[in-house]
Chains A and B, each alone.
Chain A
Amino acid sequence: MTAGAVLPTRQPQAAAASVTGRVGESVRRPDGVLKVRGDFPYSSDLWVEGMLWGATSRSPHPYARIVSIDTSEALASPGVRAVLTHEDVPGRKLYGLEIPDQPVLAFDVVRYWGEAVALVAADHPEQARRAARKVRVEYEVRKPLTDPEEALTPEATRLHPGGNVTRHVTIRHGDQDARADVVVRGEYEIGMQDQAPLGPESGLAIPDGEGGVDLYVATQWLHVDQDQLAGCLGLAPDQVRLTLAGVGGAFGSREDLSMQAHACMLALRTGRPVKIVYSRPESFVGHVHRHPGRLRYEHGATRDGKLVYVKARILLDGGAYASSSTAVIANASCFAVGPYQCPNATIDGWVVYTNNPPCGAMRGFGSVQNCYAHEAQMDKLAAALGMDPVAIRMRNAMDGSSRLITGQAMEGPIPVAELLRRVQEMPLPPVAGADHLDLTALPGGVSNTTHGESVRRGVGYAVGFKNVGYSEGFDDYSTARVTLAAAGGRPRAEVHTAGAEVGQGLVTVQAQIAGTELGVRDVTVLNADTRVGSAGSSSASRQTYITGGAVKAACEAVRERIFALAQSELGSRSGAGWRLEREAIVSADGEVIVTLATLLGEEVIEETREFRPRRTNRLDPKTGQADAHMQYAFAAHRAVVDVDTELGLVKVVELATAQDVGKAINPLAVEGQLEGGAAQGLGLAVMEEVQVKDGVIRNPSFTDYLLPTILDMPPVRMDVLELGDPRSPYGVKGVGEPPTISSGPAIVAAIRAATGRPLARVPVRPHDIVT
């Protein structure tokens, strides 16, 4: 921000409330009070005097050549201040997280329905929207390529210069000709899920009057947005400053740019602040979705249920642009077998371009699609062998001596069997007796569709895992600046990182770590922005580990300086056994040597540190072998469902889960992640699907895209293990994603158990059950 810059009237507050509480305590969120009062400024709440509203003109075709664009009518509309097209993009016309293949504004061709073609800024949002509809684009419509299978064929239209295969991952592990006594095969299809965060994509761009711009935005990674924006705007990175505005959930949908470049372009062109807020239908085309998948599996096992080999072909539809597809397919391939020991594996993972909506990151990132398939296969295998579904999983469970199918040794506590045992041993919910049957608790709920005649109960199990943090050699790091000073006779710590609080509780965790490491009660976490080094993304379940690690490292550096200061002030040579506790330096036997307030006086101690976990390596392109991941997180689920087999209605009665979190920094927040993550797994299992026909999304609204409500979500029984990873700060493991991986497959297994239907496609629809 430059001197004299305009600030939004409503803007993110420096998480003003301090947090008190140590690592391991259920500390309340510092932003909670603002949020319950309605005072927390989300990105769509930002406002500044004289701001304009931006709107986007989007393609009505999934695939077409742009013949011409005429903006004159839009420009002449009431209240309109600017209309921009690709010709107005000041810098690079393409952006992308891994492959820069996505136009800021379409030129030459549009490759998906709803692709951004032109921008409007106007005085009132409705004027902007109306004008956006008046941008006249002449299209030469082409036949869209919407079948991912067809995209692989040589005859298919090439949607990008490099062809339609975004990435093919090959894993060849062990004996490729291994044979087994018992073989089961299956084909599975997973629908497209939407992250559906409640906060719409939105932000406010304010020109600085010197050619640069300040952007207040809801995002998952400020610095990667900054880099992409600087390129597209033709500016130096320090001319594009980002501040995190309140984020109303993310779940992967904010990893890619949405309105960021658009708002900045309009602000720079008009010289006025510009706010863009997507409507819900626009949000459905404005962010990437979870990849739909088609998976073909073959499992071979011995008569006593030991896996001999797994062969899998995984095809993910990446849609029109690459986004994070190359990493998603790597995950889908590396974890294709699930958390089981398997000496031989043959995996081919493909992700392709089509003219469907672009797909990218969503909670579970590639492991969700597989888990449906490998868990269905394990149940099939159990049935073929006459074994119990949990017993067969236990027999094959990975442990600390196992290797992943990429050849990497699984180190540390790998509690797969333990997690399964724990969910199995939890008590089952009671079955209502006919005498006190609560009809509203049956499938169909208050509509009283049944008196229980054809309701069948089923129980199903699933276990899943995934990597924590970035893989394949990505330089994964975070930066933290920690300041300690005394004010009013009390020491106060201030933590500044660029880590995005998206609702998961990162601000609380940072404060708890600083409070614990520095022995102080008052910790303020500054709002995230680009005035401090990158923290990486709030994704891959990595922030507590990596940004938490950076905060810890910076605190340790501050502590060293405190001790050095005390030694010189007190003329003491030995600091052996000193600790920071109760706002003081205490000796090994707990005696206060000096209080921090006295020691600090006017002094301000500030340290900035980066934290890096251990390095990882690229997968070998031919064999897929490598030490590609730095940590894994596991969870098991048991689902109990009631199914009305005549009407095809499903009621999930209960979910039970066990998960190893290494160390629960904030147990209340961990529970929140386990429950919330399970709800998203339930959604994909039984109701959530972005329905795409001929490249067009047919249900872009909360009316037609069904999300689990409080009536759909059962109680979650939880068992949280803290086994501790010896290599991570406090022993933490990523928490956020495993709850979403195995919850859905457990539900589908339970519906299979209740109905005897194969259910090879999710979400499971009523007609899959009754026909």
Chain B
Amino acid sequence: MRITCTVNGRPQVADSVWAGESLLYVLRERLGLPGSKNACEQGECGSCSVYLDGTLVCACLVLGGQADGREIVTVEGLSNGDSLHPVQQAFVEAGAVQCGFCTPGLVVATHDLLRRVPRPSDAQIREALAGNICRCTGYAKIIDAVHLAAGRMGAA
């Protein structure tokens, strides 16, 4: 099948997509956007988090076909040219990135949290990011990063 959608503001077409392919596969392997990660492909780890029509979803749980005609934003779409989004910047600075495999998903999920709750408490951060597994950091630096980003975005 053919899928037509908008990804990070650009119209995209993917041809001969097999019906069983996930949106994650379409993004990574057909559209050349491997930023969303394939850690579990079972909806359990959040590494593949993207926006679908403005809603945070696990791209591994969405069929490619379901994305037809819709708008997708991936981690690649968050930075503005060379300048990082404050959430991205905060993750680098706070030491919230180790292997980094969880990072794109966490960056998108944090972006979504801060849109809804500009100054989240620790408890709100924990609730919002509970669907994103990180095996390396023990999460403390991720919480630091969220606060750092929230502070900067609030100040801006």
Contacts and interface: CB of A to CB of B under 8 A. Distances in A.
B84 A711 contact: no
Interface string B91-110: 11101011111111001000
A679 interface: yes
A709 B130 contact: yes
5 contacts: A249-B135, A249-B136, A503-B100, A703-B44, A709-B130
Interface string B36-75: 1111111011010000000000000000000000000011
Given A709-B130, A710-B132, 7 more contacts: A31-B100, A198-B134, A503-B136, A671-B141, A672-B141, A679-B139, A702-B40
A711 B103 contact: no
Which of A40, A247, A250, A279 has the most chain B CB atoms closer than 10 A to its own CB? A40
A504 B107 CA distance: 20
A707 B139 CA distance: 12
B34 A45 contact: yes
A41 B35 CA distance: 9
A196 B42 contact: no
A413 interface: no
Contacts, number: 181
Contacts of A677: 138
A440 B124 CA distance: 11
Interface in B105-146: 107, 123, 125-127, 129-143
Contact of A32 (B18, B91, B137): B91
Contacts of B102: 198
Given A248-B37, A503-B98, A710 B42 contact: no
Contacts of B20: 126
B17 to A, nearest CB: 11
A446 B136 contact: no
B39 A200 contact: yes
Interface string A225-244: 00000000000000000000
A199 B40 CA distance: 9
A199 B135 CA distance: 10
A200 B133 CA distance: 14
B126 A198 contact: no
A466 to B, nearest CB: 19
A424 B38 CA distance: 42
Contact of B98 (A36, A44, A505, A680): A505
Which of A246, A680, A709 has the most chain B CB atoms closer than 10 A to its own CB? A709
A33 B139 contact: no
Interface in A650-687: 668-669, 671-672, 674-680
Interface residues of A, number: 63
Contact of A198 (B42, B47, B78, B141): B47
A308 B154 CA distance: 62
Interface in A333-355: none
B82 to A, nearest CB: 10
A38 B74 contact: yes
Interface of B: 18, 20-21, 28-29, 32-42, 44-45, 47, 74-76, 78-79, 84, 88-89, 91-93, 95, 97-104, 107, 123, 125-127, 129-143
Contact of A42 (B88, B89, B101): B101
A142 interface: no
A412 B128 CA distance: 46
Given A39-B76, A701-B40, A702-B44, A199 B101 contact: yes
Contacts of A702: 39-40, 42, 44-45, 133
A701 B42 contact: yes
Contacts of A277: 38
A193 to B, nearest CB: 12
Contacts of A44: 34, 37-38
A441 to B, nearest CB: 7
Nearest to B100: A35
Given A36-B84, A38-B74, A248-B99, A709 B92 contact: no
Nearest to B79: A37
Contacts of A393: none
B107 A36 contact: yes
B40 A280 contact: yes
Interface in A398-456: 438, 440-441, 446
Contacts of B42: 280, 701-703
A65 interface: no
Given A249-B101, A710-B130, A36 B92 contact: yes
B88 A36 contact: yes
A427 to B, nearest CB: 17
B29 to A, nearest CB: 7
B34 to A, nearest CB: 4
Contacts of B44: 701-703
Contacts of B47: 198
Across the A-B interface, the 3 shortest Cβ-Cβ residue pairs: A38-B35, A503-B99, A248-B101
Nearest to B143: A710
Which of A198, A678, A679, A716 has the most chain B CB atoms closer than 10 A to its own CB? A198
Contacts of A47: 29, 32, 34
A619 interface: no
A372 to B, nearest CB: 20
A251 interface: yes
Nearest to B47: A198
Which of A35, A124, A251, A446 has the most chain B CB atoms closer than 10 A to its own CB? A35
Contacts of A249: 98-99, 101, 135-136
B101 A441 contact: no
Contacts of B125: 710
Contact of B41 (A279, A674, A709): A279
A286 to B, nearest CB: 14
Contacts of A251: 135
A280 B138 contact: no
